[in-house]
Structure 1
Amino acid sequence: MLTTYVGFLRGLNVGGKNKVNMLDLRTAIETFGYQKITTVGNTGIIIFNTEQLIKDEELANQLTEVIGIRIQLVLMQLNELEKLVARLPDWWNQRDDWRHNAIFFLEEYNASRLQPIVDHLDRTIEQAILIENTLFWSSAFKERKLYYRSQYAKLLKNDAYPYMTIRNANTLNKVIKKAKEINN
């Protein structure tokens, strides 16, 4: 039975570093025998079908070998991603003046370590929820002074940062839509 996977690659094409052409990424993945391979823009997201059961580390090692850049990723089956998103609270991705992000953590990081931060947010400027090992975070963004007061703005300095890959709500919605299309 074919399973649709979504891979969120960490640290590619960010700030001019670790540049990888998405066509090269798709070509590399084709060599592994996966099917219906697609990417989402230049975002470092891959979607594909396979009959194999694949682990994050396995695909990361395969890609690292072929591409020549150390690859880190969070790999999820489409049905896992859909279940995760189905559990989102009403406040996520609702306010146009806030930024809404899904923060996926590499397998080796237990995101529950961030729960104390999530529990003590100023809810007037941000909200967050940890679901499994994914953190969904919304924060004031239009008013920059509020954003810089938020805990979200401080994530870049948190010890969790090297283990996370972040996608905004619009990108996540595109990913799910594309994954559903190739799943049919």
Structure 2
Amino acid sequence: IRMKEVQGGGSEMLCVGFLRGINVGGKNKVSMEELKEMYAALGASKVKTVGNTGCVIYDSSECLFEPYVEKRLHKTFNMKISYTAIPFAYYQKALEEAPEWWGKNEEWRHNVLFLTHNYPVDKALQEIGETDPEYERIYCKYGMIFWSSAFKDRKAYNKTQYSKLAKKECYPYFTIRNYNMALKVLEKSKKLHKELSR
């Protein structure tokens, strides 16, 4: 996705990237410093990470092509890591227009899901199947899936499609961030965008 498709011209674009399954439970360890160096070597600038979570914010002439980045990730860290990225403009708009129920119910879990490898969103939603609003809700914006589902009440959770997600064909193509992390990424992205706009 080039900047002219988002902002109508110019040479640089702020992007938000997400790596799947790194630094989880002591497995698939990836150094954020090495990760930033790798992105810089790919031509990105102002590279920032959010914690140790695999969220990368960078400035570039385009959102770096996923297969190309994945090859460099494999070469750099010797592991297969799925990756996706979206322009900050889309990310910000999606978060600002998130449904009012997302993040509100303290008894529920609130996530945003991103698809890697250009897996079709419509196909993923079809595989997820129909949801019961009594137990969960789903909203999609710019390919980002906002998903709130019952959690603390385990009987209710077991009635959700989210509880069955790991068995779906689309599951390996999702990288997931919770409500708080999604907002942290937005906050850090907005700060960098402001710096770049000066």
* TM-score, with length taken from structure 2: 0.84
Listed one character per residue, the Cα deviations across residues 136-175 of structure 1 (whole Å, up to 9, x for unaligned) are 1101112122112211111011111110000001100000
Within the candidate set 29, 40, 55, 2:50 is matched to: 40
Describe how 1:1-184 pairs up with structure 2 within 5 A: 1-52=11-62, 54-116=64-126, 120-184=130-194
Distance 1:34 1:116 in 2: 35
Shift of 1:110: 1.0
CA distance in 1, matches of 2:33, 2:47: 10
CA shift in 2, pair 1:107/1:132, >3 Å = farther
Residue 119 of structure 1 and its aligned partner are, at CA, apart by: 6.2
Q: What amino acid is aligned across from residue 113 of structure 1 in structure 2? A: K
Tell whether the 8 Å contact from 2:39 to 2:47 is kept in structure 1 after alignment: yes
Q: Relative to structure 2, which stretch is displaced further, 64-73 or 95-104? A: 64-73
Larger RCO, structure (CA 8 Å, separation 6 or more) = 1
2:138 partner SS: strand
* Larger deviation, residues 54-63 vs 66-75: 54-63
Deviations 1:78-121 (A, max 9, x none): 01212222332221111122111001011331121243466621
1:63 alignment partner, SS class: helix
Q: Which amino acid aligns with 2:177?
A: R
Report how far residue 123 of structure 1 moved.
Answer: 0.9
SS in 2 for 1:8: strand
Q: How many residues align?
A: 184
**TM-score normalised by L of structure 1:** 0.89
Q: Residue type of the partner of 2:44?
A: Y
Structure 2 residue runs without a partner (length 5+) = 1-10
